[in-house]
Amino acid sequence: MKTYNFAALLVGVPLLMAFSIPLFGFISKQLAKWITVLTLTFEFLFSLYILLWHVYPFNVIMGNWVPPFGENLYIGSLATILIVVISFVGLMISIYNLWSAKYGDVVHFALLFLMFVGGSIGLISTGDIFNVFIFMEITGISSYALAAYGPERRALGGAFKYLVISSIGSTLYLFGVLLIYTQLGTLNIAEIAARISQTTPGLLTFAGILLVAGLAVEAELFPFNGWVPDTYTGAINPVSATLSGIGSVGGVYVLIRIVMTVFGKNGNFVSTYGNLDLMTLIAILGTATVVIGELSALVQTNIKKMLAYSSMAQMGLVAMAFSIGSRLGAYAGIFQLINHSIAKAMLFLILGVIVSFGGERVEDMKGLWYKSPFLAVTFTIGALSLLGLPLFGGFWSKFALVDASFQRGGWYDFIMAIVLFASVVEAFYYLKVVGYIFTSKPAVSEKIKVEISPAIPIAAFAILIIAIGIFPQIVSGISYSAAHELTDKMSGYVLNVIPTIVGH
Amino acid sequence: MIDFLQNWIYLTGAMALVGIGLYIVLTNTNILRIIVGLNIVDSGTNLFIVTIAWHPKSVMPIYTATNNLVVDGHVVAADPLPQSLVLTAIVIGLGTTALALAIAVKIYQKYGTLDVRKIKEEDK
């Protein structure tokens, strides 16, 4: 067990800077925005240091209270790569916000944004099942306020819907946590994972359903994702990018950590304790999410709503990939999560620039190539990556997903059919938009002038997508070792946190 | 562990509160009533958390000369951890309610109504 207490800064610095932003806001509004950029640059460089110098896996143990007696942060390979992705996406969106946050209470917008990113990083790194609830509420409360921000009144309806569903979800999650606590008397994820077989099966099943129901709200799985279209459409574009690029990563991470590490059994294929197989439940929910999300996206005329439904469907693909239960499946899920996070955040940012010059219907994309070649090419890159064309990032994750379901065999062949179905439907609606962009003549021949601060993040995302497409090694190596952390719960996770514990 | 079935009446009460709250959230169309429903769900969860820490024969979890925490090899002290958890849960519930009310005020200013169905119609 390695200890590296400096990494507590990963969670501490954004939260500290978030609450001191109003002080900087007294001096100037621009300074408040630059503070977010500086803080997230620090986050990104520090997490990149942890990744490249191979500092992970380690624990953060403050005050020498070793787990399971004290609270700890555990940053393994999975948490490292996800923190790198989150802080990169957050940094890019904060650079974009230098341009886009012009009206209203800019200072408090910067505060909420930084709090959201800090909360997501805490959500991913914490090793305590109750702290997960606290970080869920930190990200939750800041994202409700972010979603309500903006000049349009439809944002309020979406934010309220999100608030109601998400706060009920986190209450259900708390209920599940407490049911497990009555059985085991501990809140440490590693100790719960090691002793999960000592619980009463009936109560464990009930607790598992409550936990999955609570976490599926953030992970955008089918019966709990009614908020997605309204909130994404209502919110301003950088907020939609934040929710789909950062919020869903945290949600999926916790869901998978609970289902695969806490409830999982060691073995080639992860299966679960209790009367009900949670992995099968996730597979069913994921399949339903993909089918419903893709078919809903197909008929949308509002491009923002189309992206929202597509985001839902992609999260379904991620959940399905994890539910295969093998190492290759977990690898495909992590890879797909990263690809989706980058590509969908980029599409929302591009849409933000386009919307500031015109409407957001699909017809408004007509002739974008003649208005702004830069936006047209980057939008095409993002769309092609999402539908999984070779030479773009999304191809490798979908390929691994098909490969994993083929190797598992049995009824998991069904997943292969769903993935191919999803790709065809995605090709249909994304290529429709791409066709409008390149072939139609624009209604008004007014040029779109892209300023430097929105251009930097869009270009960086586009270059990253192509880089992953050509050299998948930059993500796939760490993703594959992260998959080991999920499928082999004792040697991958539990023994790294509590070396002396005996599994049951 | 704690023999928590002795408090079945409180547990039933907690479950009933959660059920009532969910029913209110799902069936009402007025935003203020939905917020009240959320609060009732929160109260049910908080009652549940307090209940699992306590049973009728438990003593306070502080060791003194006359207060024995262990009797005949059984821990009789109340569990202090959930009581500290419930504080966090109460504060978070308060924050969510305050934010929900702030959004409700904004909705009333922009739409002139608090009925969810009318808001949906106006957005079309």
Q: Could A168 and B22 be called an inter-chain contact, meaning their C-beta atoms sit closer than 8 Å?
A: yes
Indicate if the pLDDT at residue A101 is higher than 90: no
Give pLDDT, residue A39.
93
Summarised one tens digit per residue, pLDDT across range A298-314 is: 888 888 899 999 999 99
Task: Find, among A259, A325, A312, A260, the residue nearest to A286 by Cα.
Answer: A312
List the structure tokens of A198.
């000592």
Contacts of B20 in chain A (CB under 8 A): none
8 A C-beta contact, residue A50 and residue A75? yes
List the structure tokens of A11.
């969670």
Give pLDDT, residue A38.
93
Q: Could A164 and B96 be called an inter-chain contact, meaning their C-beta atoms sit closer than 8 Å?
A: no
Burial class (CB in 10 A: 0-12, 13-18, 19+), A137: buried
Residue of B1, B45, B79 lying closest to A183 (CB–CB): B1
Indicate if the pLDDT at residue A72 is higher than 70: yes
From residue A442, alpha-carbon distances to A396, A436, A447, A451, B124 in Å are 35, 9, 10, 21, 27
Q: Is A181 on the interface with B (CB under 8 A)?
A: yes
Contacts of A305 in chain B (CB under 8 A): none
Q: Is residue A21 part of a domain?
A: yes
Q: Is B77 on the interface with A (CB under 8 A)?
A: no
Give pLDDT, residue B22.
92
Q: Could B22 and A164 be called an inter-chain contact, meaning their C-beta atoms sit closer than 8 Å?
A: no
Report residue B83: phi and psi, to 5°. -70, -30
Summarised one tens digit per residue, pLDDT across range A142-186 is: 999 999 887 788 888 889 999 999 999 999 999 999 999 988 888
Summarised one tens digit per residue, pLDDT across range A382-408 is: 999 988 888 888 889 889 999 988 888
Distance from CA of B10 to the nearest CA of A (A): 15
Best of A172, A175, A204 to disrupt the B interface by mutation (most B CBs within 10 Å)?
A: A175
Task: Find, among A120, A130, A140, the residue nearest to A43 by Cα.
Answer: A120
| Structural domains in chain B, sorted by start | 4-123 (1.10.287.3510)
Distance from CA of B92 to the nearest CA of A (A): 7
Query: Helix, strand or coil for residue A150?
Result: coil
Q: Is B80 on the interface with A (CB under 8 A)?
A: no
Task: Find, among A9, A42, A33, the residue nearest to A96 by Cα.
Answer: A33
Contacts of A181 in chain B (CB under 8 A): 52, 81-82
Total domain count, chain A: 1
Q: Is residue A502 part of a domain?
A: no
Residue of B45, B89, B103 lying closest to A163 (CB–CB): B103
Distance from CA of B1 to the nearest CA of A (A): 7
Lowest-confidence pick of A44-48, A100-104, B115-119: A100-104
Structural domain span for residue A315: 5-497
* A-B Cβ pairs (cutoff 8 Å, strict): 79
Q: Is residue A30 part of a domain?
A: yes
What secondary structure does DSSP assign to A205-250, as a single string?
A: HHHHHHHHHHHHHHTT-GGG-THHHHHHHHS-HHHHHHIIIIIHHH
Q: Is residue A435 part of a domain?
A: yes
Q: Is residue A410 part of a domain?
A: yes
Q: Is residue A388 part of a domain?
A: yes
State yes or no: cis peptide before A238, omega within 30 of 0.
no
Give pLDDT, residue A310.
92
Contacts of B1 in chain A (CB under 8 A): 182-185
Contacts of B34 in chain A (CB under 8 A): 164
Please tell me the distance from the alpha carbon of residue B31 to that of residue B19, in angstroms, as a whole number.
19
Residue of A130, A154, A163 lying closest to B85 (CB–CB): A130
How confident is the prediction along chain B (124 residues), in pLDDT tens digits per residue?
445 556 778 888 899 999 999 999 999 999 999 999 999 999 999 998 888 887 777 788 888 888 777 777 777 788 888 888 899 999 999 999 999 999 999 999 988 888 888 888 887 7
pTM: 0.93
Q: Is residue A503 part of a domain?
A: no
8 A C-beta contact, residue A315 and residue A244? no
Please tell me the distance from the alpha carbon of residue A206 to that of residue A184, in angstroms, as a whole number.
15
Please tell me the distance from the alpha carbon of residue A433 to that of residue A252, in angstroms, as a whole number.
29
Q: Is residue A504 part of a domain?
A: no
Q: Is B17 on the interface with A (CB under 8 A)?
A: no
- The ipTM, to two decimals, is 0.92
Indicate if the pLDDT at residue A433 is higher than 50: yes
Helix (H) or strand (E) holding A97: helix A77-100
Contacts of A130 in chain B (CB under 8 A): 85, 88
